[in-house]
Amino acid sequence: MTLRGLRRAGLNGSEGGALWLGHRESIAEVTAVALPHGPGVVENPGFWQMSTEVYAQLSDWASDRTFVLLALVHSHGPKGANYLSALDEFATVRVPDFLSIVVGGFGSDSEPKDWGYHVFEGSEFKRLTKIDVSQRLRFQRGSVLSVEVDEHGVKPLDG
């Protein structure tokens, strides 16, 4: 589902994103994917942004389910472009243990092993190795809850 949001924006040559939510434990478990789209979301070439209203809607929804925000996933244009840009490092969620994940090719880099995983530690992001990622993150068995979010609310995502 994550790639669905990235690729939808990428069809127009724009960056897109998704948010992973779940339970923070020694190995965080992703139980929901939120695709920001619509009012309060900016998808442009080289730039993707959500308003505070979008974050607030998602926060209220997540709190009702005891989910926390685990990671922000967003795309960059060129295939293989999976490093944080200077803007990414400055203008994103900066919370200890928060993951910022970059997928190249506007989401067409479909193999998670090819994505760039970065964790916020201290005052900066550190790139994770594949082993680091496997020791920090797992997906809920079975289906993960998928939703769409904008500044007006959160709704279930069809298929």
- Res 1: pLDDT: 87
Q: Which segments of 24-156 are extended strands (E)? A: 28-36, 41-44, 47-50, 68-75, 99-103, 116-121, 124-127, 137-139, 145-150, 153-156
Q: How many CA atoms lie within 13 A of 94 on its CB side?
A: 10
Superfamily for the 2-148 domain = Cytidine Deaminase, domain 2 (3.40.140.10)
- Tell me the CA distances in angstroms from 20 to 45, 79, 118, one per residue in order: 23, 22, 14
pLDDT reported for residue 159: 56
How far is residue 159's CA from residue 144's CA, in Å, rounded to a whole number? 12
In sequence order, which residues have a C-beta less than 8 Å from that of residue 107 and are 6 or more positions away?
A: 3, 5, 6, 7, 9, 10, 16, 75
Stated length of the chain: 159
Q: What pLDDT is attached to residue 112?
A: 92
Domain-by-domain residue ranges, the chain? 2-148
> Which residue is listed with tokens 């993150």?
137
Question: What does the block give as tokens for 63?
Answer: 């709190």
Q: Is 91 exposed, middle or buried (0-12, 13-18, 19+ CB in 10 A)?
A: exposed
Structural Rg of the chain based on CA atoms = 14
Q: Structure pTM?
A: 0.94
Q: Is the pLDDT of residue 61 over 70?
A: yes
Residue 158 has pLDDT above 80, yes or no: no
pLDDT tens for 77-111 read: 888 899 999 989 888 889 989 999 999 999 999 99
Alpha-carbon distance of 116 to 129, in angstroms, equals: 9
What pLDDT shows up at residue 91? 85
Q: What are the tens digits of pLDDT across the range 1-55? A: 899 989 999 999 999 999 999 999 889 999 999 999 999 999 999 899 999 999 9
